[in-house]
Amino acid sequence: EPEVTQTPSHQVTQMGQEVILRCVPISNHLYFYWYRQILGQKVEFLVSFYNNEISEKSEIFDDQFSVERPDGSNFTLKIRSTKLEDSAMYFCASVPEGHSYNEQFFGPGTRLTVL
């Protein structure tokens, strides 16, 4: 069964460094999402992406964040200058076209630790 994959599973970085989190959505899906969950808190929406552009973003998704689909298969989240409070589990999700109630297919997450 096709699945969403994410790499790496765990990333440790120093504050101020740039990180790129990678996702490979299911191949015929057209809508892509990033979420995060800070330890002990709720899963939070960051951004949605369709047709090679951002369709929605939350207030968390500020200028430090960017997303890209560089090659038609990978979907990346970049954090330009990480802060301690960016430490979280980051989930990618995808949705096929025509799925009107937005049921999401999630990856297993990347745990980001900022020191």
Partner 1 sequence: ILNVEQSPQSLHVQEGDSTNFTCSFPSSNFYALHWYRWETAKSPEALFVMTLNGDEKKKGRISATLNTKEGYSYLYIKGSQPEDSATYLCAFLPYNAGNMLTFGGGTRLMVKP
Binding site for partner 1 (CB under 8 A): 3-4, 31, 33, 35, 41-45, 48, 55-56, 58, 91, 95, 101-109
Closest by Cα among 42, 54, 32 to 89: 42
Nearer to partner 1, 13 or 105 (CB): 105
CB atoms near residue 72 (< 10 Å): 8
Is the omega angle on the peptide bond into residue 8 within 30 degrees of 0, that is, cis? yes
Shortest reach from residue 106's CB to partner 1, in Å: 4
Residue 66: exposure state from Cβ atoms within 10 A (0-12, 13-18, ≥19) = middle
Nearer to partner 1, 82 or 92 (CB): 92
Query: What is the closest distance, in whole angstroms, from the C-beta atom of residue 102 to partner 1 in the complex?
Result: 6
Q: Indicate the residue among 22 and 45 with the shorter CB distance to partner 1.
A: 45
- Please report how close the Cβ of residue 47 comes to partner 1 at its closest, in angstroms: 10
